[in-house]
Amino acid sequence: MFLINSPVSSFSYRNETFFVKRDDLLGPKFNGNKARKLAYYLPGANLTMADNNDFAKQNQDILNIDTVISYGGSQSNLMYSLSVLAKLKKWRFIYYTKSLSKEVNLAINGNLAASLANEMELVEIKQNFTIFCRELHSKKSDNQLVITQGGAVKEAEYGISQLACEIRLWAKNQNFADLTVFVASGTGTTALFLQKHLPEFTVYTTNCVGDFKYLTYQFLQLVGNDAQHLPIILPNNLFRFATPYPELYKTISAVEKASQIEFDLVYDPIGWHILLASLNQIRSRPILYIHCGGILGNTTMLNRYRYANYLLYKN
Ligand SMILES: *Cc1c(COP(=O)(O)O)cnc(C)c1O
């Protein structure tokens, strides 16, 4: 199974041309940046890096694995991608989350429904979630692969470097000497490894999950002392993660209308809003926006937007 060569679309909006790297179209089920991040665990998924010495030992360290374990939110895009990976590898998949709310239990949909259909074993941890998750790492046995929340693992570099190779080749074929790459950040893993493997271009990002400080910290966690090529963070000081803001809905609706592309409703509304507000601050053109997939989770966010609108216009 190859996870390579996603197409690039383009559209015009506000007198700018935007290119979109369509990782949402990477594969029918396994797509987006989560598939890139997990490509390491699928032998032969990449082309360009497959012979790279850094990854020569790829999969040797996972020969004995029969169970993958992770943790985080109950609508996580990573959770769903792990459920696909586990199914492909015939691994058991155990996922820990905090107690599900009544609303979630009443209407299991989106990523959660799809992951359960892939036989994910969901376990609710009612107390001391953070301590519990830390211990998953320290107490794991040889047959278990424990993936950090959001997939902030160094193994992600393998698939992201493939993405970088595709972008370089595309830019060359288009005769683009310069390029701005934009990707919305959660853990920052995608932005960081993209910038590392595309030193000739500038990668911009914005913090969707934590604040500016959190994202900087995440970068440094992943690179250690090698803090040379860090992406530029366009700070998001306003919007909280997975929260429905009317202005974000307006932005993403306009972008979707202009592009005829469906975007993720958790990261991309913040990503596009911040990118569009920062255009005069970004020098290089053209702009390539990385579509990281995740649209399976859109039902949940749409419900939140509808509910927020309902509260807004109730009276
Ligand atoms: C996970 C995700 C991101 C953020 O990726 P990180 O590598 O954690 O920064 C962005 N967009 C979508 C749609 C995602 O699913």
Question: Each residue of 193-219: pLDDT tens digit?
Answer: 999 999 999 999 999 999 999 999 999
Question: Cβ(207) to ligand 1 under 6 A?
Answer: no
pTM, to two decimals: 0.95
Q: What is the structure's pLDDT at 51?
A: 47
CA distances from 99 to 2, 115, 120, 129, 209 (A): 36, 17, 16, 10, 20
Residue 145 Cβ < 6 Å to ligand 1: no
Backbone angles phi, psi at 207, to 5 degrees: -85, 115
How many A from CA of 185 to the centre of ligand 1?
6
Q: For residues 36-58, give the mean pLDDT.
A: 72
Residue 249 backbone phi and psi in degrees, to 5: -65, -40
Question: How many angstroms does the Cα of residue 218 sit away from the middle of ligand 1?
Answer: 13
Of ligand 1's listed atoms, the one at least distance from the Cα of 77 is 15
Judge whether 98 and 130 are in contact, CB under 8 Å. no
Q: Is the CB of 58 under 6 A from ligand 1?
A: no
| End-to-end CA gap in the chain | 53
Distance 313 CA to ligand 1 centre (A): 32
Bridge partner list, 70: 95, 147
Ligand 1 nearest atom to the CA of residue 267, by list position: 11
Q: What is the pLDDT of residue 1?
A: 75
Give the residue whose CA is nearest to atom 12 of ligand 1. Answer: 292
CA of 86 relative to ligand 1 center, distance in Å: 20
Tell me the pLDDT tens digit for each residue of 227-282: 778 999 999 999 999 999 999 999 999 999 999 999 999 999 999 999 999 999 99
- The pLDDT mean for the chain works out to 92
- Predicted confidence at residue 227, as pLDDT, reads 74
Is 32's C-beta closer than 6 angstroms to any atom of ligand 1?
Answer: yes
Please give the distance, rounded to the nearest whole angstrom, from the Cα atom of residue 308 to the centre of ligand 1: 24
Is ligand 1 within 6 A of the CB of residue 70?
A: no
What does the pLDDT look like over 51-91, one tens digit per residue?
455 565 566 778 899 999 999 999 999 999 999 999 999 99
